[in-house]
Amino acid sequence: MRKQIAAANWKMNLTIAQGEALLDGIIAKPHHLKPEQLVVFAVPFPYLAMAQQKIAGKQNVFIAAQNCYSKKSGAYTGEVSVEMLQSLGIKWVVLGHSERREYFAESNQFLAEKINIALEFDIQPIFCCGEPLSIREAGTQNEFVTKQLEESLYHLSADQLKKVVIAYEPIWAIGTGKTATSEQAQEMHAHIRAELAKKYGKEVADEITILYGGSVKAANAKEIFGQPDVDGGLVGGASLIIDEFVAIIEGLK
């Protein structure tokens, strides 16, 4: 059975005291996670150790980095390696968020290198893909997302791919309050799964967790997560509000 995940992306928000209070507030609420359901908090680098301590001993709850560099170590001032993440006990990393693609010019090829090094150090990537508004309006979103998968993931073996979680995040729905309809989300998730099946076979494709991201909130999580090919969400804004994110976790199927 594939995993369902409620993943929080704090982005570049909160002081450490605010982050601690947010984590405390969410963790304190009763959760009814099934064995296949996970909660992941992608927090800023300086808060990783604090967050890792807070969730110690909590079942099915993990901390993620929001990025990592593509090299093992060396003269790359300001960058953070997967070995550093591993040394903190971090098991997850978000890669290819559209904000990183747009503001830091991260290409599909560069992301393939980051995926490789994350897997080499046993850190599971949450690989983000998704089209801008112009592509959606031109009706070529399927081809656009297929290219992102081909160029960043298709060099992986089936066993490696099974460690990757894919997050479909239409850029026009991120932080805009504009959510894709559950039909639009399902359509793209089914497309991604069909493409993975073409390359890796149906059995492998059926094991891959595919998250939806883009203005998920308490009010729409249950309906979106209820779609057959949607296995949870990657959540920005609403993950910064205790009651919202707790309701989103409860919205997992």
Which positions are annotated as active-site residues?
97, 169
Distances (CA, A) of 96 to 12, 117, 144, 189, 190: 16, 14, 14, 17, 21
Kindly state the number of chain residues that form the binding site for ligand PEP, as judged by CB under 6 A. Answer: 14
**Residue 152 in the binding site for ligand PEP (CB under 6 A):** no
Exactly one of 214, 229, 244, 252 binds ligand PEP (CB under 6 A); that residue is 214
Exactly one of 96, 130, 213, 251 binds ligand PEP (CB under 6 A); that residue is 213
Sign of CA dihedral 148, 42, 228, 182: negative
**Residue 235 in the binding site for ligand PEP (CB under 6 A):** yes
- Tell me the two tokens of residue 33: 């996670």
Toward ligand PEP, which CB reaches closer, 85 or 218? 218
**Residue 221 in the binding site for ligand PEP (CB under 6 A):** no
Residues comprising the chain, all counted: 253
Interaction residues for ligand PEP, span 164-193 (CB under 6 A): 169, 174-175
Toward ligand PEP, which CB reaches closer, 133 or 206? 133
Toward ligand PEP, which CB reaches closer, 121 or 245? 245
Toward ligand PEP, which CB reaches closer, 180 or 205? 180
Q: What is the DSSP string of 30-53?
A: -----TTEEEEEE--GGGHHHHHH
Helical H runs in the chain?
A: 16-28, 48-54, 82-87, 98-103, 108-120, 133-138, 141-153, 158-161, 182-200, 202-207, 218-225, 242-250
Q: Which stretch in 55-63, 101-109, 207-215, 245-253 sits in contact with ligand PEP by CB under 6 A?
A: 207-215
Radius of gyration of the chain (CA): 17
Sign of CA dihedral 101, 170, 128, 151: negative
Q: Which stretch in 63-71, 109-117, 194-202, 208-216 sits in contact with ligand PEP by CB under 6 A?
A: 208-216
Residues that bind ligand PEP (CB under 6 A): 9, 11, 169, 174-175, 213-216, 234-238
